Structure 1
Amino acid sequence: MAGYVEFFRLGKTYDTPNGPAVIVEDFNLNMEMGEYVCLLGHSGCGKSTVLTMTAGLNSITTGGIVVANHEITGPGPDRGVVFQSPCLMPWMTALENVLLGVNQVYPHGTKKQRRDIAGYYLTLVGLGSSLNTRASELSQGMQQRVGIARAFALKPKMLLLDEPFGMLDSLTRMELQEILLEILIRDKVTTLMITHDVDEALFMSDKVVMMTNGPRARVGKVFEMPFDRPRVRSEVLEHPDYYDLRGDMITFLEDQDHKKRKQDAEKLDQKKKEEAEGVLAI
């Protein structure tokens, strides 16, 4: 059954000097409206490739992605994106950075209406007293708050998060995780997040999608989270299923590690064999 967001037989292939490189192949996933899904897997497994295709920033080779009954053909304001680095205009204030998107999405609104929208979301992320501070004068955590406010201010149908807390210290990361979840519950935005952090995935998501190693990465296993919303970190950690789920996810990642080492060893053996045959042929 199709969901609010549907990935069907999604694939991405790049042309290289050594021939086609298939990064993602036959990736299938359905997301319900308002659902929070984390993509979890090792570096290079294709998580960011899936996210950038969903954002319309990377062309799709095979299959497709449908969001709210519309197939993705390029970027659009229906999908808000927050990257690991917030990518702000350093000479602009926090308010001006959020207004860049708001002015495009609400062109018929009055100046005051657009400023109120931008100010509202900056206040939600804790920057109500820093609206007129230049981005270059904000800390890294505060800049990421601006990036989150900018994404929500567009009222997207889907939010895409590419390791948004990866460059932050642990205390700032936990604080922003909780702020983000509060806004998501309020606005009911369907969300796809990339992370390497098992504990972050467990705390944030409704569903954790484990990806197999690349090349030809795909969905390997899906875990449903049994934790109630709104989330309370201490209650999640004390839930009887928490450590079993955590252990199963780590086991999956370790199995992928083992398969990669085995594949690498087989490739090395094959290369040595070909080199030896080449020497004998001379």
Structure 2
Amino acid sequence: MSHYVEFYEIAKTFPTPAGPQVIVEDFNLNIAEGEFVSLIGHSGCGKSTILNMVSGLIPATSGGIIVAHREIDGPGPDRGMVFQSPCLLPWLTAHGNVLLAVERVFPDATRRERYDIAAHYLELVGLGEALDRSVKQLSQGMQQRVGIARAFATSPRMLLLDEPFGMLDSLTRMELQEVLMELLAHDRKTTLMVTHDVDEALFLSDRIVLMTTGPKARVGGIVAPTFPRPRVRQQVLDSPDYYAQRDVLIDFLESQDRSHRPQASSTSPSHTVAEVALNKSLTEA
């Protein structure tokens, strides 16, 4: 498989009251087309910063990011993003939120075609009977399904997931992991996911990238789960390799010097900027 995404010597610095802080430095990674890669590491190590840079919502301070043989210089419809919080427009229905994104990406389609695209992906995530419900009438899990449907409905070639199930209870989290796996089985998009959940990373990923503790975080190792696809959760858990690979991830995380971790506020502005930028891009004329 050829490289679809290339990170080359990426660095990102944010201003702080104490002076510039280097969050990520010398970050190098290649992702093959159709591959599912997870980033895992301690809070504040720059995982979401990496995701927001490849989305084009924030620029790298130095280095380059190549997506589909082109250096990115901003957001684009070729990259769909799902945030930890659903990031929906509360005055619209479930269908309206997805339709708004579809209209932006497919302006030449007929009104009926755009309507049907939005409805189709909501049906795929199990919301076929909730198209006309307002956001406030949806549970948190249902809202996140809308976010996933919106990302797929715009037909991006790459999917960016920023802890998409992190705010959900365990049962809903597992259910939406299965929904995501089923969607990707039929439409194998290149996927980059940020997660704190070791078990989630093992279940979903082709490769797991371990990030060192910041500041100046970088790739500290890569683990490639050996479980065949399509994956069935119980079969993965029963695999003799599962707990050995899980231990490798946990041992790495425990080996990082937590005393040098930056406060969460050092990277939180990038996530906030990203969410604001997404809604702004959807609502601007």
Q: Give the TM-score taking structure 2 as reference length.
A: 0.89
Query: Distance between the aligned counterparts of 1:232 and 1:2, measured in 2?
Result: 27
Query: Distance between the aligned counterparts of 1:65 and 1:117, measured in 2?
Result: 31
Q: Does 1:28 align with 2:24?
A: no
Q: Does 1:101 align with 2:101?
A: yes
Query: Distance between the aligned counterparts of 1:60 and 1:136, measured in 2?
Result: 36
Aligned to 1:227: 227
Task: Kindly report the root-mean-square deviation, in angstroms, between the aligned alpha carbons of the 2 structures.
Answer: 1.3
Q: Larger relative contact order (C-alpha < 8 A, sep ≥ 6)?
A: 2
Structure exhibiting the larger radius of gyration computed from Cα positions: 1
Provide, for residues 48-80 of structure 1, a one-character-per-residue CA deviation record: whole Å limited to 9, x for no partner. Answer: 110111111111111111111111111111110
> 1:113, CA displacement in angstroms?
0.5
CA 1:187–1:79: 2 relative to 1, 3 Å: same
> 1:225, CA displacement in angstroms?
1.2
> 1:20, CA displacement in angstroms?
2.2
Query: Distance between the aligned counterparts of 2:44 and 2:141, measured in 1?
Result: 26
AA aligned to 1:46 is G
Aligned to 2:147: 147
Structure 1 gaps of 5+ residues are 265-282
Q: Is the 8 A contact 1:210 1:222 kept in 2?
A: yes
The 5 Å alignment of 1:106-145 reads 106-145=106-145
CA 1:110–1:143: 2 relative to 1, 3 Å: same
Query: Distance between the aligned counterparts of 2:240 and 2:16, measured in 1?
Result: 48
Taking every aligned residue pair, what percent have the same amino acid on both sides?
64
Query: Distance between the aligned counterparts of 1:88 and 1:19, measured in 2?
Result: 34
Provide, for residues 73-131 of structure 1, a one-character-per-residue CA deviation record: whole Å limited to 9, x for no partner. Answer: 11111110000111111121111100111001110100110011111100000000111
Provide, for residues 189-245 of structure 1, a one-character-per-residue CA deviation record: whole Å limited to 9, x for no partner. Answer: 100000001001000101000000000000000001111111100010011111000
> 1:2, CA displacement in angstroms?
6.5
Q: Is the 8 A contact 1:2 1:30 kept in 2?
A: no
Q: Is the 8 A contact 1:5 1:30 kept in 2?
A: yes
Aligned residues: 261
Structure 2 gaps of 5+ residues are 262-285
AA aligned to 1:200 is E
Query: Distance between the aligned counterparts of 1:86 and 1:15, measured in 2?
Result: 28
Aligned to 1:214: 214
Matched residue of 1:58: which SS? coil
Q: Give the TM-score taking structure 1 as reference length.
A: 0.90
